[in-house]
Amino acid sequence: MPRRPFGGIPAGGSFSVSPRPAFGTVTSAASIPMYDQFAGNVTGANLSQTTLAVTSTVGFRAGDPIIVCTTYPVIGTPNMGWIASITDSTHLVVKGLTAAVKSGDFVVLNTEAETVLIQAVGTITGPIYVGTASTVSATDPSVFYELVTGGVLNEETSGISHAWKTSDYWLADSTAGDSVVCSYSQG
């Protein structure tokens, strides 16, 4: 299957020192799922539908499975759904969420990836740390790679018993303003 690009980071702004998903975005407003009008809750036969205001929709497509979280890995029941449609460059219509979404929550593509490519763009002023948790930083134990100028992480997970998901890739920049381009492929 061909490699699927997921836009660049930054997408409409500079890379923040704060950790962020390699394949995701951040909400810019709170949102509450619409309840099933017949069951009176979000777990009825008619799945919830929620419009999420996000910093960027670049890289997402209708039908993409997502997870919405404050931290990753998620502790407790994950708030998962899929993208029903993309309204514009800053709004996603999502089906299936079961909990309220806070401003600043992560919206992360949550699909298996056979290969993942994360490439530094231009001059990197400090390393970009790649890890498996939203706590990624220079001292975080989840860090498994450091991107520098000209650096490329080319991860292949095919053939292993537990393939990684796009939601397992998190980035933290030691200095603001650096950029990367992320892509993945599926079997």
Same domain, 105 and 137: no
The Cα 66–Cα 49 span in angstroms is 13
Same domain, 15 and 48: no
β-partners of residue 85 are 93
Which domain does 84 fall in, by range?
Answer: 24-109
pTM summary value: 0.88
Cis peptide, bond prior to residue 21, ω within 30 of zero: no
The Cα 137–Cα 145 span in angstroms is 11
Same domain, 32 and 105: yes
The Cα 9–Cα 39 span in angstroms is 41
Same domain, 91 and 30: yes
Same domain, 40 and 101: yes
Same domain, 118 and 164: yes
The Cα 5–Cα 70 span in angstroms is 24
**Number of domains the chain is built from:** 2
The Cα 144–Cα 117 span in angstroms is 14
Same domain, 77 and 52: yes
The Cα 58–Cα 80 span in angstroms is 19
CATH number of the domain within which 116 lies: 2.60.120
- One digit per residue, the tens of pLDDT, for the chain of length 187 reads 678 888 656 543 445 547 889 999 999 999 988 776 665 555 656 778 899 999 889 899 999 999 999 999 998 889 999 999 999 999 999 998 988 999 999 999 999 888 899 988 888 888 889 999 999 988 999 999 999 888 899 988 765 656 789 999 999 887 777 788 899 988 7
Same domain, 38 and 89: yes
β-partners of residue 54 are 27
